[in-house]
Amino acid sequence: MYEYISGTLTYICPTYVVVEVSGIGYQIYLGNPYRYSSQLDQAVKIFVQQIVREDAQLLYGFDSLAEKQLFLRLVSVSGIGPKSGLAIMANDDHQGLIQAIEAGDVTYLTKFPGVGKKTAQQMVLDLKGKLTELLEDKMSLFYEGDLAGEQALTEALEALSALGYSAKEVKKAEKTLASESYATTDEYLRAALKLMMKK
């Protein structure tokens, strides 16, 4: 129904952003809402996919049409819902994800929250050979913000929890990230997601 929403970014939290268009605030769920930190109170354009459930109508957002296409392919796999799809896409290494699927690298795929061996195998079975055209597309945009370091770390850890990582995993990531000095939530979250993929 919706292709994208253009408006003013008015709110950011660990799971979603709010974009105001003509006096209406649209709640858009994102894998990494903090990548928009530097654009708070500014005009943004976010590609969206509306998903209707029995108890809710939700909008999921993406930086590009290629990201949206990747998300739609992911949620077409049995065992991957919208929340899991966003959690998988929160890691910016989308080309690495596609290459892992093409190579049948089940071990890599099970590092994502909510993806067990069976689901990883299903991803390979359903998507192998169907994602290569996305490899050439620009899969992500990079934003910088100006949040204070401590608050940025706290928000990044909240975002990890929102993506489905366990309290134990988040605590482990916190120990490593606390010794780093990133300036924004986005940078902390990107670093945390890389850590999660190495576990």
pLDDT tens, position by position, 141-155: 333 333 356 778 888
Q: CATH for 65-136, among 3.60.21.10, 3.90.1580.10, 1.10.260.40, 1.10.150.20?
A: 1.10.150.20
Which superfamily does 4-62 belong to?
Nucleic acid-binding proteins (2.40.50.140)
Per-residue model confidence as pLDDT tens digits over 27-66: 999 999 999 999 999 999 999 999 998 898 999 999 988 8
CA–CA separation, 102 and 135 (whole Å): 11
pLDDT of residue 181: 77
Using a 10 angstrom Cβ sphere, with 0-12 exposed, 13-18 middle and 19 or more buried, the burial of residue 15 is middle
Summarised one tens digit per residue, pLDDT across range 7-35 is 999 999 999 999 999 999 999 999 999 99
DSSP 111: T
DSSP H/E element including 173: helix 167-177
Residue 149: the pLDDT is 63
The number of beta carbons lying within 10 Å of the beta carbon of residue 151 is: 11
pTM score > 0.85 for this model?
no
- pLDDT on residue 167: 84
**Contact assessment for residue 26 and residue 12, using Cβ atoms and an 8 Å cutoff:** no
Show me where the domains of the chain are located.
4-62, 65-136
Predicted pLDDT at 105: 94
